[in-house]
Amino acid sequence: MLLAIFADMKTFQVPTTYRSPLISALKAKRKEADKLKKDFTPSLMDLGPVRFYLARHFGFCYGVENAIEIAFRTVEENPGKRIFLLSEMIHNPFVNRDLQALGVRFIMDTYGNPIVDFAEITPEDVVLIPAFGTTIPIEEKLRGLGIPIEKYDTTCPFVEKVWNRSAQIAEKGYTIVVHGKPTHEETRATFSHSAVHAPTVVVNDMKETIELAKYIIGEKPTEQFYTEFADRFSEDFDVNKDLQRIGVVNQTTMLATDTQAIADYLKQVIMTHHQLDASTIGERFADTRDTLCYATNDNQSAVLGMLEQEADFAIVVGGRNSSNTSQLVELCEEKLPTYFIRSEEDILSDSEILHANWRTREESVISNWLPKHRPVQILVTSGASCPDSIVEAVLRKVSSLFNVEI
């Protein structure tokens, strides 16, 4: 709670090109009218033939703004030095492109594949840790090269909060179940930081959670676990022992409702299997609800509130590989046609739009995306790594197709 309050109070210095006076004014007005953030209805921008309904919360979160401020300040304060990023600063192609234009080089891609050999790094170089954090072996490797990683660490404090909570429940003898995408940088980092304290296993979704539960109750043979969850459990993981007392934490950009459903399911399985009740479940299941990221919760709640509004379709703006943006697309697609775009450049014309499948990231051109009737009602939101300036550009591009200006 304190982190969330602090996040609301702090103002970061990020490049003005990422800001939007229009959207900043809108957000300020909503914040003033709803200081406790209980109103998740969208904001209406009525332009006559087109009506935009903007989600109550969207765009840069605390962790993203913190990372961007540190990154650009680091470039400014280190003229003439080689500056490296472990991987993408955040999952937005435009922000990463801007950093590369300033000479920043990526050491790895988002999957951990090398781009620059670590042997090339010297103590005179600057290495930035991205907002997702990194694994302990990579931290140790950088320290071995003489890199002071703490000085240029942009790891999101809410990610670190998950790591700290994992360590706390590990001290009490719980195994950690991480809900996250196994190949995502943040999940890899959280797994690494958790595994040094306790046995740890990663589940991607409820389907995998149900299979994991079968090992808890002994329904599936022990040896099958090591194949089914290959590369997703910590060293020396003992299925028969390490699944008897557990706690669930998450990759902060996953759907909060999914994480809670996974935790509730495993809690019920353990309660039934060990014949426990609400007063004794704590013996075998740790309460970790406080690890859910406030920004992820707010953005997802805002989308759910926005979806109560009747509309023709939704537009979600963000990077193709942005996990939190993908979750917003998933929520919208459950109710109405949704277009997942990176910027106004993906709006090709009034008859074609370049859309990405949030599951596969495969792009396709969608024809006849704008209905003929008037007014057209459009829901709009963006991911936590998307600059407000891009959202404004999208609004202006769409409105121009109706021959109106904002």
CATH for 124: 3.40.50.11270
How many other C-beta atoms are found inside a 10 Å radius of the C-beta of residue 81? Answer: 13
Is 405 domain-assigned?
Answer: no
Determine the pLDDT at residue 4: 56
Q: pLDDT tens string for the chain (406 positions)?
A: 555 555 565 789 999 999 999 999 999 999 999 999 999 999 999 999 999 999 999 999 999 999 999 999 999 999 999 999 999 999 999 999 999 999 999 999 999 999 999 999 999 999 999 999 999 999 999 999 999 999 999 999 999 999 999 999 999 999 999 999 999 999 999 999 999 999 999 999 999 999 999 999 999 999 999 999 999 999 999 999 999 999 999 999 898 889 999 999 999 999 999 999 999 999 999 988 767 788 888 999 999 999 999 999 999 999 999 999 999 999 999 999 999 999 999 999 999 999 999 999 999 999 999 999 999 999 999 999 999 999 999 999 999 999 999 9
- At CB < 8 A and 24+ separation, what contacts does 217-220 make? 217/269, 217/273
Assess whether 170 and 279 both reside in one domain: yes
- Per the CB < 8 A criterion, the answer to whether 179 and 262 are in contact is yes
User: Which two tokens mark 207?
Assistant: 């389907």
Our count of domains for the chain comes to 3
* 387 assigned to some structural domain: yes
Which pLDDT value is given to residue 197?
Answer: 96
Amino acid at 3: L
Residue ending a domain, choose from 100, 126, 152: 152
Inter-helix orientation angle 136-144/185-195, to 10°: 90
Same domain assignment for residues 166 and 285: yes
Task: Assess whether 186 carries a catalytic annotation.
Answer: yes
Statement to judge: residues 360 and 394 lie in one domain: yes
Task: State which of 95, 130, 152 marks the end of a domain.
Answer: 152
Provide the CATH number for the domain around residue 194: 3.40.1010.20
Q: Are residues 305 and 394 located together in one domain of the fold?
A: yes
The neighbouring-strand residues paired with 176 are: 200, 247
- What is the pLDDT, as a whole number, of residue 404? 97
Domain boundary among the residues 252, 270, 292 is at 292
Does residue 81 contact residue 122 with C-beta atoms inside 8 Å?
no
Q: Is there a single domain that holds both residue 38 and residue 88?
A: no
Check whether residue 173 and residue 277 sit in a common domain.
Answer: yes
Residues 52 and 75 in one domain: no
Residue 406 lies in a domain: no
- Active-site residue, from 65, 88, 139, 186: 186
**Which residue segment(s) compose the domain that 95 sits in?**
62-152
What pLDDT score does 63 carry?
A: 94
Same domain, yes or no, for 116 and 171? no
Same domain as 144, residue 164: no
Q: Are residues 206 and 100 in the same domain?
A: no
